[in-house]
Amino acid sequence: MSTAAPNPAQNPATAPATATHSVVVEGDIGIVTVGYPPVNALSRAMRQAIVDGLREAQADAAVRAIVFICDGRTFLAGADITEFGKPPQAPSLYDVQDIIENSAKPVIAAIHGTSLGGGLEVALCCHYRVAVPSARCGLPEVHLGLLPGAGGTQRLPRIVGAAKALDFITGGTHVPARECLAIGLVDELVPEGQLRDGAVAFARKVLAEGRPLRKVRDLDDKMIAARGQPELFADFRQANARRFRGFLAPESNIRCIEAAVHLPFDEGKAVERKLFLELVGGIQSQAQRYAFFAERAAAKIPDVPSDTPIVNVAKVGIIGAGTMGGGIAMNFANVGIPCVLVETAQAALDRGMAVVRKNYENSARRGKLTAAQVEQRMALLTGSLDMNVLADVDLVIEAVFENMAIKKEIFGQLDRICKPGAVLATNTSALDVNEIASAATSRPEAVVGMHFFSPANVMKLLEVVRGAKTSHTALATAMQVGKKIGKVAAVSGVCPGFIGNRMLRARGEQAQAMVMEGAMPWDIDQVLYDFGMPMGPFAMSDLAGLDIGWSRETSQGATIREVLCEMDRRGQKTGAGYYDYDAARNARPSEVTRQIVLDFMARQGKVARAVSTEEILERTVYAMVNEGAKILEEGIAQRASDIDTVYINGYGWPVYRGGPMFYADTVGLPTVVARLQAYGDRMGAGFQLSPLLERLAAEGKHFTR
Ligand SMILES: NC(=O)c1ccc[n+]([C@@H]2O[C@H](COP(=O)([O-])OP(=O)(O)OC[C@H]3O[C@@H](n4cnc5c(N)ncnc54)[C@H](O)[C@@H]3O)[C@@H](O)[C@H]2O)c1
């Protein structure tokens, strides 16, 4: 069974039908070169090319050692994900591995670019590995809810040891060649650009020194050493419990490495095979593979041609150096794009800049940046109190108070100041981008929403809000800028809350309603936490601050939130909100909140009933699905998978459940509809079933397939 480092470019529809191989003999070294553009995926044709090349070299009496190297920009970058779940076609990945591992002549893998998943599992069957310094190796299967199923979990620990294999395999990262050398995965680094010659020289050394025909599968010393550390696996599980919460794949990967330590190779491989088949057929891996492709699909806008001219964003202006402005600016400094921040007062500007510096210095303290990098990034950020400095920027992102009058005033000024062709973006969370564009500027086509999420330097999601008049160029530029600064961008049309917050609101309404029926805030939060969300709606409100949009002057004590604010229980920052917090900000249910809830219920003549876990989950999550369906039918979202991409990247939706729309498909849309109907009036007077949801359910269709 092959394992995957997926690459959408591996789509057989676009990949050429044939792979190439050549064998060149230099003295007693046979150089087998294979190629299958664009990324040398281990598709059937490639596997055949490898087998043919190796057989040829093995049959040549002059050849005493074999260098295995790839054409193009990378080593074998992984399996062909499109072959997943289909009957295997010979030669299998196992056949390829056997021919290499059982070769009577030593095979040296020469690695450049990336050696990922199945690609690394092939390299692990070679007797030695050399790489250029820029190469990276990794087993990223865990990110797709899988494990390396072609011996990777058995061979890697034998070469790097169990502890390092645990990090390597459950981390799924692309590990730089130098680190691979340090852990023993790579035997030697050869100079950049000289891979072939370096590998041939290494092969000659193997022969000259009479080095053994080393099979990784036979190495045992590190496994014996690991058997002397019985606490190794328990400690690792405990240390990573939070990171792995809810995911099945990390545990399966760990169990495979345990098997490598305790069982002979072939028995360990049988464990690996069994667990791989369980994962590949399971819903989590399906969801994670779906999410992988959903994220890439989100970058595509069907009616915007790929040759749309894009503004070259060499300088950015940001208006407002508050919570969002500062974080947004960091994204640009991180990729070397200079940014000018505009504020109304020096004090606000200084405060904003100081927060940015503090964030960078914290990263430096954690070893993520050098002191010099902190200064380089800060040097890219300048401040001004004069909007006229925005005359030469290519992109402006407005991040001032959420107030339409102020935003209009600012866009009016931008219209006068900015050069023609500049893209004018607003980071508004909920205001009407069309109104900002048309009422305030003479160039509504240049206006687009770029909705970042807090903290803006950390959160991956960027909702790119397409106004009625937004030009293809402004839209495509915003999408490309998002990609450049490492965000996952998804397009949303204009509506209150756009995709993400609009659905969150639907969830919040149900959560609030259930509090008035007898579920306490922590009961609701617990259900959503157990479902896999990082926190529930009430914990989230406490984190954000209950007083967002609240003021004492206008407060009427009409909601639980207002009463909490009036009592100065404004969330984590005040040590209390829906929850009570200790000094370390650990939450515990609050008697004060409970009493407020009970008082409200008494005043409204409501009697508490037991609200089941099932009801809490269904009403919150299905309400989101229903709103998502409306967003889809209104054309606010381009596709259901974009909604899922928004939720996974911006709201902590557990990726192993594939996003709300995918999740609804797994539950079954008829069930979703039936349950929402069964709750009837409890859903609230404003609740209406989405006609699209009802229709798809009636027709036996799905959102995402
Ligand atoms: N905080 C969030 O979680 C979040 C998330 C997404 C989007 N947003 C949106 O981002 C925008 C900014 O929110 P924030 O949380 O950063 O607010 P903030 O209050 O922290 O910062 C706003 C900043 O804008 C400055 N400002 C106000 N008027 C100005 C003007 N005319 N010219 C220049 N600067 C001016 C203020 O001095 C302040 O520093 C809002 O539209 C908000 O809805 C916020």
Read off the pLDDT of each residue in 186-205 and give the average, rounded to a whole number: 98
Q: How confident is the model at residue 81 (pLDDT cuts 50, 70, 90)?
A: confident
- Please check the confidence at residue 16 and state whether its pLDDT lies above 80: no
Residue 77 pLDDT class (50, 70, 90 cuts): confident
Q: What is the pLDDT of residues 436-450, one digit of tens each?
A: 999 999 999 999 999
**Predicted confidence (pLDDT) per residue in 626-660, tens digit:** 999 999 999 999 999 999 999 999 999 999 999 99
38 CB-near residues (< 8 Å, 6+ apart): 9, 15, 72, 73
In whole angstroms, what is the distance from residue 404 CA to residue 432 CA? 8
Give the tokens for residue 570: 């404004």
Which residues share a beta bridge with 21?
34
CB 78 within 8 A of CB 119: yes
| CA–CA gap between residue 28 and residue 163 (Å, rounded) | 38
**Which residue among the candidates 121, 343, 615, 694 is catalytic per the annotation?**
121
Residue 114 in this model has a pLDDT that exceeds 70: yes
The predicted-structure confidence for 283-310, as pLDDT tens digits, reads as follows: 999 999 999 999 999 999 999 999 999 9
pLDDT (tens digit per residue) in 465-480: 999 999 999 999 999 9
What is the 314 CA–ligand 1 centroid distance (Å)? Answer: 24
The rounded Å distance from CA 83 to ligand 1 centre is: 48
Tell me, what amino acid is at 308?
Answer: T
What separation in Å is there between the alpha carbon of 19 and the centre of ligand 1?
A: 54
| pLDDT greater than 50 at residue 4 | no
Cβ atoms of residues 121 and 148 within 8 Å: yes
**Active-site residue among 83, 101, 141, 343?**
141
For position 88, what pLDDT does the model report?
A: 81
Cβ–ligand 1 contact at 320 (below 6 Å): yes
For helices 521-531 and 613-633, give the axis angle rounded to 10 degrees: 70
- If you measure from the C-alpha of residue 388 to the centroid of ligand 1, how many angstroms do you get, rounded to a whole number? 19
Pocket lining: 353 vs ligand 1, CB cutoff 6 Å: no
pLDDT for residue 433 is more than 60: yes
Mean pLDDT, rounded, for 585-614? 97
Q: Is the CB of 427 under 6 A from ligand 1?
A: yes
Mean pLDDT in the chain? Answer: 95
Q: Which atom of ligand 1 is nearest to the CA of 426?
A: 41
Query: In the chain, what is the straight-line distance between the N-terminal and C-terminal CA atoms, in Å?
Result: 25
CA separation (Å) from 495 to 401, 443, 473, 628, 687? Answer: 19, 21, 22, 12, 17
Would you say residue 6 has pLDDT above 70?
A: no
Nearest CA to ligand 1 atom 40: 402
Reported as type and span, the H/E element at residue 588 is strand 587-589
- The model carries a pTM of 0.93
pLDDT at residue number 17: 56
Is residue 121 annotated as part of the catalytic site, yes or no?
Answer: yes
Q: Distance, CA 33 to ligand 1 centroid (Å)? A: 56
| Beta-strand runs (E) in 459-525 | 461-465, 488-492
Residue 644 CA to residue 43 CA, distance in Å, equals 29
pLDDT tens for 213-269 read: 999 999 999 999 999 998 999 999 999 999 999 999 999 999 999 999 999 999 999
| Residue from 318, 319, 323, 341 to probe ligand 1 pocket by mutation (most atoms less than 8 Å from CB) | 323
β-partners of residue 130 are 110, 188
Which whole-number Å values give the CA distances from 228 to 136, 164, 165, 224, 299, in the listed order?
Answer: 31, 16, 16, 7, 50
Q: Which residue's C-alpha comes closest to atom 28 of ligand 1?
A: 400
Mutate which of 331, 390, 429, 463 to test ligand 1's pocket (most atoms within 8 Å of Cβ)? 429
Q: Which atom of ligand 1 is nearest to the CA of 428?
A: 41
